[in-house]
Amino acid sequence: MPDPSPLHRTLTIVARDPSVERDGRVLLARVEVPRERLAPGPRGHRVQVVDVDSATGLVYKPRPEPDGPDPFAAWLDDLTLDRAKLLADPTFHQQNVYAVAMRTLALFERALGRRVPWGFPGHQLTVAPHAFVDANAFYSREHQALMFGYFKRAPAGKPPTGKPSEKGAPPEHVFLCLSHDVVAHETTHALVDGLRPWYLDPSSPDQAAFHEAFADLVALLSFFSLPEVTGALLDPIGRGERIRLEDVTREALARSVLLAVGKELAEATSGRDQVLRRSVEIEPAADLLTRAEFQEPHRRGEVLVAAVLDAFLRTWVRRLGEIADQASRTVSRERAVEDGAAAAERLLRGAIRALDYAPPVDLTFGDFLSALLTSDGVMHPADEPFRALLLERFGAYGIPPAAAGGTWEKPDAAALVLDGVHFEALQRDPQEVFRFVWENRGPKQLDLEESAETRVTWVQPCQRLSTDGFVLRETVAEYVQRLTLRADELPKEVRPPELPADLEVRLSGGGTLIFDEFGRLRFHVHNRIFSAKQKARLGYLWEEAGVGDREALRAGLSFSDLHRRRLAGTTRLTLAETPRRSHAAQR
């Protein structure tokens, strides 16, 4: 099929994973990814697939001419083709991971309105679709790579328990690189690590949970933003041209979500789909995050996923109510599918943009909610009901916003010192931003700790496009502060009483500055070095530390650490992370 767009290339992928079928066939989807001149791999300017298998020592060859139209397009259109053959072709797997990783990158770049770096000093993320035999997948900062495992479905000699394919026998292997959810999840780790490297630092239960939870919710929402998927979600509710409005409830959709989840990975990967399942099943309650079982980072993250998923389903139901034919109380199936995908995309973009409106260090779920509300308010000022719904649903799951009114407060423009600051340079020069920060360090302005080491880590102009075509120009800059003190030098309001007086602690703070297109400071989202939050952080880390482990509180924010980790570091986020905490909390 010719691919007419000069900007995009359409590629065929597995919609969720090979166990999710519709009408007895593996559900495929077609996605758009940015067009580029590909080398065999496919290898593009941001993502390159190298098909090394550490278990067999083999390296599978890619297709020799990757730049042509989608070679697998026919499989989606021609229903007579046996899709089992497609799934047994490693070059299709190579295309699948390339397409999902690039689509996830494009989602981030579109939402943020700028290029997004990886969390390592290189431009190309290497993706190994069949890296090892294991029910696991991970992002490795150190290896600058995403690695996906595969495994045999059933032990030899035992009847396979998997779902039969079109030909009756289940495929022998399970490939994680064919799971949209897994690929999007790992790519998101790589992207968040590029945007907010400090989120891997030890800080709080929320921050320990955030990386995983955010990767989960991006994976889920990007999956739900595929019309093929929202279509499948509506199947159990009705397959006619029109759907009865009374049948489309939040509960009915939630049941569909669970049906749509593949069983293939659930058991083997110990929890990928369980995340979704458990998130759907979490009963909303205001005290969730204080309960014992939600102190463990993975479980805690599920609460954030639950709140977002719930908001998505309710938004969808609300939109259907708005577009329904009021006389017949029905809604066109086609519109319902489109609206579901649009609702997911709206929420997805908002969640990604929220990263730009969040503090660079010591993130809490409440910070994330305020960032989400604020960024949405800037982008869609008229849609107050959507934000009210978000606020209400997060609240139901015990996540109040960090900002008193929900959204971040605007800074006092009159108090800011702008003498000698040049807006043109402020958009791209960290020196200029630093001058602005330094001039405004006073308590009535940015309120920084003067004695700390302060560094502007990046500044980027952005051109954000809303889903309805509105263009927003902003400049985002980030600064971080650090200060090392003995516990007895800490102000009283920051020192947890249990810390030994001579214990050396490393404190971090920092902020995000958002300037509008005229160079005015629109928002300043920050965490002060001396704050109640800092006290909570120190108390948490000390509680978590081993006996006599005086280094635990020095393991936080460090520029040299970050540099070292980026060059030769050990950061790795895995898919299953079965018996361990996320890196953020691990010592």
Which residues would be at the binding site for other proteins (CB under 8 A)?
48, 50, 52-61, 88-91, 126, 128, 130-136, 138, 140, 143-145, 147, 150-152, 154-157, 172-173, 175, 267-271, 292-293, 295-296, 299, 543-551, 570, 572, 574, 576, 578-581, 587
Q: Which helix (H) or strand (E) holds 459?
A: strand 453-465
In the complex, minimum distance from the CB of residue 147 to other proteins, in angstroms, rounded to a whole number: 6
Q: Does an H or E element contain 330, and which?
A: strand 330-332
Name the residue nearer to other proteins (CB basis): 90 or 113: 90
Is the CB of 166 or the CB of 296 nearer to other proteins?
Answer: 296
Q: In this structure, is the dihedral angle defined by the CA atoms of residues 454, 367, 273 and 387, taken in order, positive or negative?
A: negative
Tell me the C-alpha distance between 577 and 206, whole Å.
17
Nearer Cβ to other proteins, position 152 or 329?
A: 152
Quote the tokens at residue 185.
């999840």
Q: How far is the CB of 142 from other proteins (least distance, A)?
A: 8
Q: What are phi and psi of 289, to 5 degrees?
A: -75, -10
Q: CA–CA separation, 12 vs 571, rounded Å?
A: 32
Task: Decide whether 119 or 511 has the Cβ nearer to other proteins.
Answer: 119
Element (H, E) at 277: helix 272-281
Q: Which H or E element spans position 533?
A: helix 532-544
Shortest separation between residue 153's beta carbon and other proteins, angstroms = 9
Query: Going by DSSP bridges, is the β-strand pair 137-140/572-574 parallel, antiparallel, or unpaired?
Result: antiparallel
One-letter amino acid of 203: S
Give residue for tokens 């159990």: 236
CB of residue 306 to other proteins, shortest distance in Å? 18
Q: How far is the CB of 134 from other proteins (least distance, A)?
A: 7
CB of 298 to other proteins, least distance (A): 9
Pick 140 or 256: Cβ nearer other proteins: 140
Of 202 and 509, CB closest to other proteins: 202
**Shortest separation between residue 158's beta carbon and other proteins, angstroms:** 8
- State which residue, 54 or 466, has the beta carbon closest to other proteins: 54
Q: Is the CB of 244 or the CB of 299 nearer to other proteins? A: 299
Cα–Cα distance, 202 to 361 (Å, whole number): 10
A 10 A CB-CB count for 405 gives 10
CB of 521 to other proteins, least distance (A): 40
- Pick 168 or 546: Cβ nearer other proteins: 546
Give the angle subtended at the CA of 92 by the CAs of 89 and 96, to the nearest 5°: 145
- Residues 161-191 as b or e (16 or more Cβ within 10 Å = b): ebbebeeeebbeebbbbbbbbbbbbbbbbbb
By CB neighbour count within 10 A (0-12 exposed, 13-18 middle, 19+ buried), where does 290 fall?
A: exposed
Distance CA 416, CA 28 (A): 54
Q: What's the min distance (Å) between Cβ of 59 and other proteins?
A: 4
